[in-house]
Amino acid sequence: MGFLVATHAVLWAPGDPSALSSAVSEAISDPANLIFDTSASLWECAIKASIGKLDLPEDFFDSIPEVGYEVLPIRISHLNVYRTLPMYHRDPFDRMLVAQARAEALTLTSRDPEIAKYDGETLAC
């Protein structure tokens, strides 16, 4: 199976895995699953770190592939889905997660109740 991890899961999994639900922890740790992080989430983290809203380790971005996540770039197919999404969620980064999960047929891990309003496979963090 393939999973797209939301930003908060990317932040918690390495340093505080107990903050994740057992279902997400199991999915992330199962070597049979493909785990994706999106460049949109990483971009959001970089923005927040640059304005002082998030403290990241120096090697945070380099460590993403090292922990076994594949970085999913933003593709044209994702943008085509993005522009058709209902405005349940106002955050452009979270909307991109939904679009990418849909376009790639991935299960999206998130604890955001606004994301759960969209059709598609989700797994609550």
Q: How confident is the model at residue 14 (pLDDT cuts 50, 70, 90)?
A: low
- Tell whether the model's pLDDT for residue 22 goes beyond 90: no
CATH fold for the domain made of 2-124: Rossmann fold (3.40.50)
Burial (CB count <10 Å: 0-12, 13-18, 19+), residue 98 = buried
Q: Where would I find the H helices in the chain?
A: 7-15, 22-29, 39-50, 60-66, 76-82, 92-104
For the stretch 102-119, pLDDT in tens is 999 999 988 888 888 888
Instruction: Give the integer Cα–Cα distance in Å for 111 and 25.
Output: 13
Instruction: Give the integer Cα–Cα distance in Å for 121 and 74.
Output: 19
| Sign of the alpha-carbon torsion through 107, 108, 111, 117 | negative
Any idea which of 8-17, 20-29, 79-88 has the lowest mean pLDDT?
Answer: 8-17
Mean pLDDT of the chain: 88
For the stretch 48-73, pLDDT in tens is 999 999 999 999 999 888 888 899 99
In the chain, where are the structural domains located?
2-124
What pTM, to 2 d.p., does this model score?
A: 0.89
Q: Which whole number is the average pLDDT over 14-24?
A: 73
